[in-house]
Amino acid sequence: MHARTMATAIVVATLLSCLAACGGGGSGGTSVPPTPEFDAADFGAGSADITNPYFPLIVGSTSVFEGTTDEGFEHIEVMVLNQTKTILGVSCRVVHDVVQIDGEVVEDTYDWYAQDLDGNVWYMGEDSSEIENGVVVSKDGSWEAGVDDAFPGYQMPAALVIGDEYYQEWYEDEAEDKAKVISTSATVMLVGGTTYTSCLQSQEWNPLEPGSDEYKYYAPGVGLVKETQLDGTQPIERVVP
């Protein structure tokens, strides 16, 4: 089953049995959420090698994003580690994200991604820590596919169809992010003058947080280069590389 559409579907029995084997189902029978169809058989030995042109992850690379938000000056470092984690029988790439506001670390996260044989990049979970004054104060939003009824979703589909919507993650009442394909021909000019063409523009939001909608722009061969509020304000832009 390698010819997928972006239409949301019910997770197949293969995933359910895998979840049971992994100790999932912590709520004792919640309904299966709509999500891209997951099957571990669709992943090869190189599933941790993420080469999707709109979301390439180069091991050893560090990307930096900066911008001014309502909370202050935001500085984000995204490091692609030479580490993998096996989730639902699939080898996933580990990515370390650190967020600073006005020079103080406020979030420290390890994300896990895998790419299937069609080129879809799956978001398989995260270990996220909210930090205040150097102390972890919350792990809200952390989840792992196959644990406690959490399901993986697309981080970046291989086929981009204008108007398609998809779940990026599903952990009920904790992490339910969604995305919608707006354009595949956007042009983005950053403050420093760097211009990217043929970009993917997606609208991404968390249904648990009304008003969280934002636009994200992904350049082919580069990945995420910019994100803004829907009105174009509070831009966060890629500054390294």
Whether 3 maps to a domain, the answer reads no
From 138, 140, 74, 144, select the one nearest 112 (Cα to Cα): 144
Whether 4 maps to a domain, the answer reads no
Separation of alpha carbons 50 and 43, rounded Å: 12
**Parent domain of 19:** 9-240
Averaged pLDDT, 6-11 = 33
Whether 180 maps to a domain, the answer reads yes
Instruction: Please count the CA atoms within 13 angstroms of the CA of 119 that sit on its side-chain side.
Output: 12
For position 174, what pLDDT does the model report? 86
pTM (2 d.p.):
0.85
Whether 132 maps to a domain, the answer reads yes
Whether 2 maps to a domain, the answer reads no
Which CATH number is 160's domain given? 2.40.360
Give the CA distances from residue 188 to residues 52, 97, 159, 198, 226, in Å, rounded to whole numbers and listed in that order: 20, 23, 21, 9, 8
For position 145, what pLDDT does the model report? 95
Q: What sign does the dihedral 234-123-151-184 (CA atoms) show?
A: positive
Question: Domains in the chain: how many in total?
Answer: 1
With a cut of 60, say whether residue 3 has pLDDT above it.
no
